[in-house]
Amino acid sequence: PHVAVIVVAAGSGTRLAAGAPKALVGIDGRSILRHALDGVFAAAPAQVIVVAPAGFEGDAETEVREAAGDRVDLARVVVGGDTRQESVAAGIAALWGDVRTVLVHDAARALTPPAQIDAVAAAVAEGTGIIPALPVIDTLKRVDGDSIVAPVDRSELAAAQTPQGFPRAALEAAYDAAAAAGIEYTDDAALFAAAGYTVRHIPGDARAFKITTPDDLDRARRLLAEAPA
């Protein structure tokens, strides 16, 4: 109960080069946003805020109606900003009622299992944010131009996914602090930690990968053909 999911879907999708905002690009018969929302509604949240690209609010509302069914009153669509951080801030400003836990989820992670959404929500605690993460499997190097400077110990690293979950009041305070300082962070966990709060990680899932390039879209299509969501 009292869990809101902010689905950020306002990115342009330049690297996907599909000629439409990324969230509205089709995977199979359904768009990236629709698949993301199907996963979110399967997790039974109390409230869903979709942050849409400017000019595409109507398209986002259609996707929300189809994904939400008779729970459409739990959802709102707002317009995003030029950066992901501005888009999340617009989502936070649209929260209503007695939400205690806020999850921020990338629409681009369209095939995220509902169990991952539930697990993040369940792990959020007082003053503590939660992110799902996977071990890094690539061999990583620190570089300077074309020189290899040093190997990187991958046991110290984790690849962050979404949804990232936070106690609402602390997240609002952290966003206010970031806006006041004029600092742009790489993700919500970094912004939250910069405000002095704790962030922990729980196991992520390979299916929660982010669709960024045409290859990623192909991978999503193959996964859906093998095991329809």
Residue ranges that bind ligand C5P, judged by CB under 6 A: 8-11, 22-23, 51, 80-84, 87, 106-108, 210, 212
Calculate the alpha carbon distances from 31 to 18, 34, 82, 108, 112 in Å: 12, 5, 22, 10, 14
104 φ, ψ to 5°?
-110, 120
Shortest distance, position 1 Cβ to ligand C5P, whole Å: 26
In the bound state with ligand C5P, the residue whose beta carbon lies nearer, of 63 and 106, is 106
Whole-angstrom distance, CA of residue 221 vs CA of residue 208 = 14
Query: Which residue's CB is nearer to ligand C5P, number 28 or number 184?
Result: 184
Closest residue by beta carbon to ligand C5P: 11
Nearer to ligand C5P, 49 or 174 (CB): 49
Cβ at position 118, least distance to ligand C5P in Å? 20
Minimum distance between the CB of residue 182 and ligand C5P, rounded to whole angstroms?
17
Nearer to ligand C5P, 109 or 201 (CB): 109
Shortest Å distance, C-beta 14 to ligand C5P:
8
- Report the nearest approach of ligand C5P to the CB of residue 188 (Å): 10
| Torsional sign, CA 69, 71, 76, 82 | negative
Residue 197 phi/psi, 5-degree rounding, is -90, 165
**Measured in whole angstroms, how far is the alpha carbon of residue 203 from the centre of its chain?**
16
| Choice between 198 and 213, CB closer to ligand C5P | 213
SS3 call for 224? helix
Question: Are the C-beta atoms of residues 27 and 35 closer than 8 Å to each other?
Answer: yes
